[in-house]
């Protein structure tokens, strides 16, 4: 019986490791009780309690029943505590921020770096007017959509007379 509980601990560890690579939509598609996180917590609770009861000499069926109940309760209590915090987790707050081009922006896209209070942030970018922007050029983030920044080349903005103040 101890082997069953240890196996559930090993399985919960493996499931937790695999879930790190699963897309967020796949993890939350089934709701809180059917998520990978929920099942991982159930298995972990089941394994810890079951192993402790087996080592303490509690009979197999009693240990199995108690571990199953405690594993379910553990998932019910802990899963909500691990839910993602609400708030602005998007990148819209970068609008108007100054940055520089890290990878040249060609007709498709490149990459810019923006220094903020939160640190340096690099993100894919495209030009607002479709023109290429050279590496090292100073840019202003117009907006961020889908994780990609639309930027204005500060040099060409000044040349057009639209420089932000």
For residue 87, is it within any domain? Answer: no
According to the model, what pLDDT value does residue 83 have? 63
According to the model, what pLDDT value does residue 75 have? 80
According to the model, what pLDDT value does residue 89 have? 61
According to the model, what pLDDT value does residue 155 have? 83
Q: Are 66 and 108 within one domain?
A: no
For residue 104, is it within any domain? Answer: yes
Angle at 77 between CA 72 and CA 83, to 5 degrees: 115
**Cα separations (Å) of 110 from 15, 83, 97, 143, 158?**
36, 34, 17, 15, 21
According to the model, what pLDDT value does residue 33 have? 52
The one-digit pLDDT tens for each residue of the chain (165 residues) are 777 777 776 766 666 655 545 444 444 443 445 677 777 777 788 888 888 888 899 888 888 888 888 888 888 888 777 665 554 567 788 888 999 999 999 877 899 999 888 788 899 999 988 899 999 999 999 999 888 999 999 887 666 665 555
Indicate the residue among 42, 62, 82 that finishes a domain: 82
pTM of the model: 0.45
For residue 65, is it within any domain? Answer: yes
Total number of domains constituting the chain: 2
Structural domain for 148, as ranges: 92-160
According to the model, what pLDDT value does residue 102 have? 95
For residue 165, is it within any domain? Answer: no
């Amino acid at each position: 019986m101890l082997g069953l509980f240890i196996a559930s601990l090993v399985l919960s560890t493996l499931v937790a490791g695999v879930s790190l690579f699963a897309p967020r939509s796949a993890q939350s598609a089934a709701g809180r009780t059917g998520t990978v996180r929920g099942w991982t917590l159930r298995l972990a609770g089941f394994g810890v309690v079951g192993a402790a009861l087996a080592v303490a000499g509690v009979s197999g069926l009693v240990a199995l029943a108690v571990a199953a109940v405690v594993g379910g309760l553990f998932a019910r209590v802990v899963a909500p505590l691990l839910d993602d915090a609400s708030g602005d987790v998007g990148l819209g707050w970068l609008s108007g921020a100054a940055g520089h081009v890290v990878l040249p922006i060609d007709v498709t896209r490149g990459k810019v770096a923006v220094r903020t209070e939160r640190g340096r942030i690099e993100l894919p970018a495209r030009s607002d007017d479709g023109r290429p922007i050279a590496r090292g050029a100073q840019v202003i983030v117009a907006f961020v959509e889908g994780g990609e920044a639309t930027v204005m080349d500060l040099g060409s903005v000044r040349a057009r007379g639209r420089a932000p103040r």
